[in-house]
Amino acid sequence: MKRREFLKFATVAAGAVAAKDALAFDYLAPVGDPLGHYPYRGWEDLYRALWSFDWFGRTSHSVNCTGSCTWRGFVKNGILFKEEQFADYPEIESNLPPEQRKLPVYNPRGCQKGANHKEYVYGPQRVKYPLVRVGARGQGFFRKATWDEALGLVASKVVSAIDTPWSGGSHSPDAVTFFAAIPAKHHITLSGGFRLANLIGGVVCSFYDWYCDLPPGEPMTWGVQTDSCESADWFNSKYILIMGANLMETRIPDSHYFVEARYRGAKIVMVAPEYSPTSIHADLFVPIKPGTDGALCLGMANVIVGEGRFDRAYVKQFTDLPMLVRTDNGKILREADFVGPTPGLAPDADPRMRKVYLWNTAGEVPGPVIAPGSLGIPHNDPRWTLDLARFGIDPALEGSFTVTLQGGKEVTVTTVFELMKEKLAAYSPAAVSGITGIDASLVADMAREFAAAKPARIIEGAGTNHYFHNDLINRAQILLVALTGNVGTPGGGFDHYVGQEKLWAEHGFFELSFPLGRPKQRFQNTTLWTYAHADVKSDIDSILPRPLMSYIRESVANGWMPLWPKGTLDNGRDPKVLFVWGANYLNQAKGYQDVEGKLWPKLDLIVDLNFRMDSTAMYADVVLPAGSHFEKFDLSTTDLHTYVHPFTPIINLLHQSKSDWQIWRELAGALQQTGFKFTDPVPDGSTVTRDFSTLQSQFDTHHSRILGTTWDVSDDRNTCQFLLSASPETDRFNIAGPHRFANVGEMSSVPGDSIIKHPQRFPRTSEEWTSDIKEGVAYYGFQRMTEHKRPLLTLAGRQQFYLDHDWILYDFKEQLPVHKGPVDIDQYPLRWITPHGRWSIHSTWRDAKFQLRLQRGRPIVYLSPNEARARGLLDNDYVTIFNNHGRVDAHLCITPRLPDGLAMMYHGWERYTLNDGWQSPTNIRIKPTQLVGKYAQLNFRLNYWGPTGNQKDTRVDIRFKRRESSVSSAAASSAV
């Protein structure tokens, strides 16, 4: 139809519509085949054939993205050629009729990295054969080896490391170290190495604290590792304060929920030093000086308390603000103060040291009363509850009182709330404005809005958690949401989503990983292990009450933190063997210079299990080819949704690769051939006979304590089924039931087949978590506290802001949340931040060409126009980022997105894409308050409590190195 004819027709059609109330389209003739007259049509089959497939199957990506998205891969002629989001998550509210459903569903779920995982499956990075190093470490020279040769070599080195006597023992299994990351992202992949470590006596290292994803304020305040909502609950919020989180870039599958919350009237306030893609979706962008977010929260708390906008009933019941504290020594008033400690019991085991007091104003005679729910109250005691009304308790929030202690001594006590008010007085909006750079009136406005909006929440990311004083920042953030009664309500709370930490099939996982039991396992906080064995020199002693090493020595001597091998500090023992799998230890290592320069030479053997030649593989001695995520069975979960779904082998294992589980099995077989045997004293005080002559069957046969049956776990799929069956969270008793592995979405299918199963929503949570899964409700934390009045596992039994451990109280004066700014020890002008980015998940996809095309194709450092101008730098200049710890080179991108004083590089660049490690300018800085132990809720536990490997306090400078000839000065100037 010619244009003139079309206009004429449209006019007539419109008239007809007006006249007859019919659709204009009704008058359009059906469009036939526009190429109907074309004589040769066979070429169209080329396009049809391009997208035809033989098979598709379900899988995911285990890359610590916290995404856990279910994908399908399409296969033709045995080749994976296309990936697509499966988009078949059932609705959370599937029981409701459509018109009553309120929550958007998770479909589709994925990101652009996952959409091109096949680049790694078939890419040049793929490890095809067992490799044995022949050149210097990191030089990149390896030779092909057979599996027998490679595993035999590893087995002989492991036995030789173990068979090394030292003055404290005749064997050294604690010199064999295992590092991997995140069970939830690939349960059995991770479990294989842990299981072998448990059987041979090796050391299992942490990752969540080392990566600095652990928010230490949560174990301190809540007695939990982390508990946050699934992302669908963001939709329920009315006010979202985003702090240090770049949701649009780093939470691609989930970010729609906060955007959609806006359409329901939620206000989004973005607090960050830099303008990010998330900022443009906020109602208010609040630029803040780096590392001062805690001060902002304390300033808002100042206004909320000062103007009486806090939730009085809530804080009396669910926080320690009414708890009594002695004014003579700052210690929490305990039962032992009245009746003395229990004879023969150490303080950390004495229930009298674990019962705290409230001042009851409701009794006939007001006075001190043991706080129901205190940690020292047995769980079968009726007082193990937060239901104060049941015991006629109405605690005072304010006031000072006199109590008579054992021996007749009278002391004055006051409430935590009184002490908190004194502390908050230092954080007036005007004072906070000076710290944060935020206008005082805005601080006050935000406080009033936050208090008025119900529910309100803080979403926190790595941006605020990666500071030296991350514990203080977290505690201030939690204070804000607790004062306003937002913890334990849908749409409210403090959500630190960073790290795929939630391990849902955890009972089965622990059994499978530690067949001899966790008490016999050597566990290690990786920050401390790396610090000690990389011989890191403390550069923060000048800001500590005493040298860091004296805190470390005391912590280890007291048994607060383990440090393997035993005798590291006194006998100078070193680790000898390091296994890395499902992680890229070297790439991520803070204090990179010391790790490569001092730790690496101490290791006789570094083994990497990998499908990709990453930085750790490149610097390893033996690289064992592992199957990719599309070639094996496993299970995937996350804390950002409540479903479990599988990895399945959509394609056969490529080249000579094997699944991680099978590699660990076969290594057990190689160790068995040595016939080695020894007696090993283990952490629980007992001894274990390590008999390698039966190691293969020890690995393959699992005697389940939970199920009371014996399982053959030599097969990957059967091992997945064991995990589901043995975990109460995934239907412990009903092996044939709806959560059978085959029903969590395993089945691949030919087109048109209807047997594809869906990801399954977990029916329940374990006791480790603070809420139940409810039908039709998005998961949010601390339901059990608010709905069932169940105490938390803190000393006070409630959200605890006052801590009286001697180091915290006396050495650091951090008994309550306070603001302490970044540790600016490095005398350089620019703060060095290395956030998560859009084009990689940590180091994964850092070297993938389709992602590189989106980001200038090589490592970039970002700088503000003013900072670039001050250094005479032009866009795309090759520059050196340096300080006294190290240096690294990159190309410059000048962007007004950054404020002055900040240099930013998205993290994770592989060592071989740089002239040094991207972490070279960082040092390992351990905060002593995170070394404490044997204090109520603060006890070492892998990935729950231990020092974090923070890195955002680093400062650097940048200098010109080279100008790219292809960039004209004029063009570059105009870019500036």
Per DSSP, the three-state class of 222 is: helix
Structure tokens at 203: 């050391």
Q: Which spans in 245-391 are helix H?
A: 247-250, 256-263, 293-306, 312-318, 335-339
Output the smallest distance, CB 181 to ligand SF4, in A. Answer: 14
Q: How many CB atoms lie within 10 A of CB 125?
A: 16
Residue (249 or 957) nearer to ligand SF4, CB: 249
Residue (219 or 253) nearer to ligand SF4, CB: 253
- The strand pairing partners of 323, in sequence order, are 358
Residue (71 or 514) nearer to ligand SF4, CB: 71
Output the smallest distance, CB 85 to ligand SF4, in A. Answer: 7
Pick from 524, 656, 578: nearest CA to 157: 578
Residue (68 or 415) nearer to ligand SF4, CB: 68
Name the segment binding ligand SF4 (CB under 6 A); options: 56-64, 203-211, 454-462, 864-872. Answer: 56-64
**Under a CB-based contact definition with an 8 Å cutoff, are residues 403 and 368 in contact?**
yes
Q: Is 61 near ligand SF4 (CB under 6 A)?
A: yes
Output the smallest distance, CB 649 to ligand SF4, in A. Answer: 17
Distance CA 649, CA 618 (A): 27
Output the smallest distance, CB 179 to ligand SF4, in A. Answer: 21
Q: Which of residues 92-151 bind ligand SF4 (CB under 6 A)?
A: 110-111, 113-114
Q: Which of residues 924-953 bind ligand SF4 (CB under 6 A)?
A: none
Structure tokens at 601: 């030479």
Q: How many CB atoms lie within 10 A of CB 597?
A: 13
Residue (61 or 573) nearer to ligand SF4, CB: 61
In the set 60, 189, 527, 748, which binds ligand SF4 (CB under 6 A)? 60
Q: Is 67 near ligand SF4 (CB under 6 A)?
A: yes
Q: Is 695 near ligand SF4 (CB under 6 A)?
A: no
Name the segment binding ligand SF4 (CB under 6 A); options: 26-34, 59-67, 122-130, 274-282. Answer: 59-67
In the set 68, 465, 489, 525, which binds ligand SF4 (CB under 6 A)? 68
Output the smallest distance, CB 110 to ligand SF4, in A. Answer: 4
Residue (638 or 922) nearer to ligand SF4, CB: 638
**Under a CB-based contact definition with an 8 Å cutoff, are residues 651 and 639 in contact?**
no
Q: What is the maximal distance between C-alpha atoms in the chain? A: 108
Residue (121 or 841) nearer to ligand SF4, CB: 841
In the set 241, 841, 938, 972, which binds ligand SF4 (CB under 6 A)? 841
Residues 946, 952, 953: CA angle, nearest 5 degrees: 95
Output the smallest distance, CB 646 to ligand SF4, in A. Answer: 13
Structure tokens at 552: 């470390």
Residue (106 or 310) nearer to ligand SF4, CB: 106
Residue (65 or 154) nearer to ligand SF4, CB: 65
Output the smallest distance, CB 725 to ligand SF4, in A. Answer: 25
Q: Is 248 near ligand SF4 (CB under 6 A)?
A: no
Q: Which of residues 525-544 bind ligand SF4 (CB under 6 A)?
A: none
Distance CA 694, CA 672 (A): 6
Output the smallest distance, CB 87 to ligand SF4, in A. Answer: 12
Distance CA 960, CA 863 (A): 13
Output the smallest distance, CB 116 to ligand SF4, in A. Answer: 10
Distance CA 300, CA 306 (A): 10
Output the smallest distance, CB 681 to ligand SF4, in A. Answer: 42
Q: Which of residues 303-332 bind ligand SF4 (CB under 6 A)?
A: none
Question: 686 phi and psi, to 5 degrees?
Answer: -90, 180
Q: Is 186 near ligand SF4 (CB under 6 A)?
A: no
Residue (318 or 647) nearer to ligand SF4, CB: 647
Structure tokens at 322: 């009414």
Residue (154 or 841) nearer to ligand SF4, CB: 841
Distance CA 675, CA 222 (A): 47
- The strand pairing partners of 356, in sequence order, are 334
Sign of the CA dihedral running 424, 427, 429, 432: negative
Q: Is 65 near ligand SF4 (CB under 6 A)?
A: yes
In the set 56, 57, 59, 63, which binds ligand SF4 (CB under 6 A)? 63
Size of the site for ligand SF4 (CB under 6 A): 13
Q: Is 69 near ligand SF4 (CB under 6 A)?
A: yes
Residue (108 or 669) nearer to ligand SF4, CB: 108
Output the smallest distance, CB 839 to ligand SF4, in A. Answer: 11
Output the smallest distance, CB 250 to ligand SF4, in A. Answer: 9
Given 3-state DSSP classes, what are the helix, strand and coil percentages for the chain, each rounded to the nearest 5? 35, 20, 50
**Under a CB-based contact definition with an 8 Å cutoff, are residues 759 and 645 in contact?**
yes
Q: Is 588 near ligand SF4 (CB under 6 A)?
A: no
Q: Which of residues 593-612 bind ligand SF4 (CB under 6 A)?
A: none
Cα 228 to Cα 222, 234, 309, 451, 498: the distances in Å are 12, 11, 25, 20, 10
Q: How many CB atoms lie within 10 A of CB 1?
A: 10
- The strand pairing partners of 881, in sequence order, are 888, 958
Structure tokens at 92: 């959370």
Judging by beta carbons within 10 Å of its beta carbon (0-12, 13-18, 19+), is residue 747 exposed, middle or buried? Answer: middle
Name the segment binding ligand SF4 (CB under 6 A); options: 61-69, 201-209, 511-519, 617-625. Answer: 61-69
Structure tokens at 571: 């006998």
Output the smallest distance, CB 941 to ligand SF4, in A. Answer: 27
Q: Which spans in 62-171 are helix H?
A: 118-122, 147-162
Residue (64 or 276) nearer to ligand SF4, CB: 64
Contacts with 358 (C-beta within 8 Å, 6 or more apart), sequence order: 322, 323, 324, 368, 369, 371, 388, 393, 395, 396
Could you write out the DSSP letters of every residue in 64-95? Answer: S-S----EEEEEETTEEEEEEE---PPPTTTT
Residue (638 or 920) nearer to ligand SF4, CB: 638
- Torsion angle of the four alpha carbons 923, 924, 925, 928, in this order, in degrees rounded to the nearest 10: -170
Q: Is 73 near ligand SF4 (CB under 6 A)?
A: no
Residue (69 or 624) nearer to ligand SF4, CB: 69
Residue with tokens 């082998």: 649
In the set 130, 253, 791, 921, which binds ligand SF4 (CB under 6 A)? 253
Output the smallest distance, CB 475 to ligand SF4, in A. Answer: 30
How many residues are given for the chain? 976
Output the smallest distance, CB 263 to ligand SF4, in A. Answer: 23
The residues of the shown chain that bind ligand SF4, judged by CB under 6 A, are 60-61, 63, 65, 67-69, 110-111, 113-114, 253, 841
